[in-house]
Structure 1
Amino acid sequence: MSERKMITLATRKQMDIYMNPQRQRLLRALEVSGVPMTPKQLSDVLKISASSVSLHIRKLEELGLVALDHTESIHGIQAKFYQKLPVSVSLGGNREDDLKEERTCLSDYLITELWNGFKDRLNRVKDKTDAMTTGDFTCGVVHLNKKDADELYHLILDFTETHEAPGEDTIPWEYGLVVFPHSPLPEEKGE
């Protein structure tokens, strides 16, 4: 498997581009559709103007998250189709800089949007007995040594990367994963 491109949000400009809620919705729409879309198609999904979508696309192109896939002539008009690039974004949570508060707000927003989407799905589904229909939520603690933790992390990344593109008989599944070691930090141990 090839090394996936990772963008770490290191500057205020990058953070400002990425943390815009409309841009987050636009990225999600492209990921869920799994196919390139025009600004007009995205405007119909997002319920905002096509010119606003085009502005957001330009910003996301600047960050390296979206790119022009192709153009087609539709009723004599050249339509531009954009795709979400196979790029992971690191919020840079391990960085010590003046963007710590923005990173926290963005993390809260992303987790809340994911959780609200899950709750909305639960409310809309009639048969709530099948996790393959409703989705599922689970949490707990696993005991891992460094080797096992690294293996689990890469298994998850490899699995999700392998399944990002739509395939025959697939539907998009949204996911979120938060993992962290529960061991005391060195400063908490008095080291």
Structure 2
Amino acid sequence: MDPYRLDILETFYKQNKPLTVKLVADALGETPAKVHYHVKKLEKNGILVLVFTKEINGILAKYYEPTAENFVMRNRDKKLDSQMNMYLRNNIESVLDKEFNETKNLFIKSLRECPEGERFEGHFASERVYLTQEEVKEINEFLHRFSRVDETLKEDKNRKEYQFLYTILEILDGIDDQEDE
């Protein structure tokens, strides 16, 4: 849940192909040494996997890719000490803040840059709904099919680029009461 490691993962998803540490570092404008440290942590935790190696100018290049198309952030360990719990919460908040702000800024930029007299189309909705766990799973699976980047689709002239962001979270009992206090 480290925000920098999520940036690394996002680079893999945007490129949609196996990458070396050097390629990721170049994409992020970082040094390979910094990226290497985090890639090794992601590999150790089973989030990235080494898929092949290739010798380039006498150097063995290692190509990695994510082990899953998406990851769920969840804290199921109720025994975490308060310091670790606070660390996890802060990282989750940081990731959410980054993603929501980037999407909000894209939405506002698109709205402002839409030529006068042109049609602007953007959709935003925020609703509270009552769902079963099965319905939540079904919605997630449906939306996930659209959230994977397929670079070959960019060439299709009938397709336009869209920003896609969604959240589904369980509203815990008493959460509204806490917000009002």
Please report the TM-score for the alignment, with normalisation by the length of structure 2.
0.72
Aligned counterpart for 1:74 among listed residues 25, 49, 56: 56
Distance 1:114 1:88, change over 3 A: same
Matched, 1:92 2:75: yes
CA distance in 2, matches of 1:172, 1:81: 29
| Residue identity matched to 2:153 | D
Matched, 1:130 2:121: yes
Aligned counterpart for 1:151 among listed residues 110, 120, 134: 134
Give the CA deviation at 1:113.
0.7
Give the CA deviation at 1:172.
8.1
- Structure 2 stretches of 5 or more lacking a match? 155-160, 176-181
Give the CA deviation at 1:85.
1.2
Counterparts of 1:19-38 in structure 2, within 5 Å, are: 19=2, 21-38=3-20
CA distance in 1, matches of 2:162, 2:5: 19
CA distance in 1, matches of 2:109, 2:31: 28
Q: Which moved more, 1:57-66 or 1:120-129?
A: 120-129
- Structure 1 stretches of 5 or more lacking a match? 1-17, 186-191
CA distance in 2, matches of 1:91, 1:41: 30
Contact 2:103/2:163, CA 8 A, preserved across alignment: no
How large is the Cα RMSD of the aligned pairs? 2.8
CA distance in 2, matches of 1:172, 1:31: 15
Q: 1:4 matched to which residue of 2?
A: none
Query: Identical aligned pairs, as a percentage?
Result: 19
| Residue identity matched to 2:133 | D
Contact 1:114/1:176, CA 8 A, preserved across alignment: no
| Residue identity matched to 2:30 | I
Give the CA deviation at 1:78.
2.5
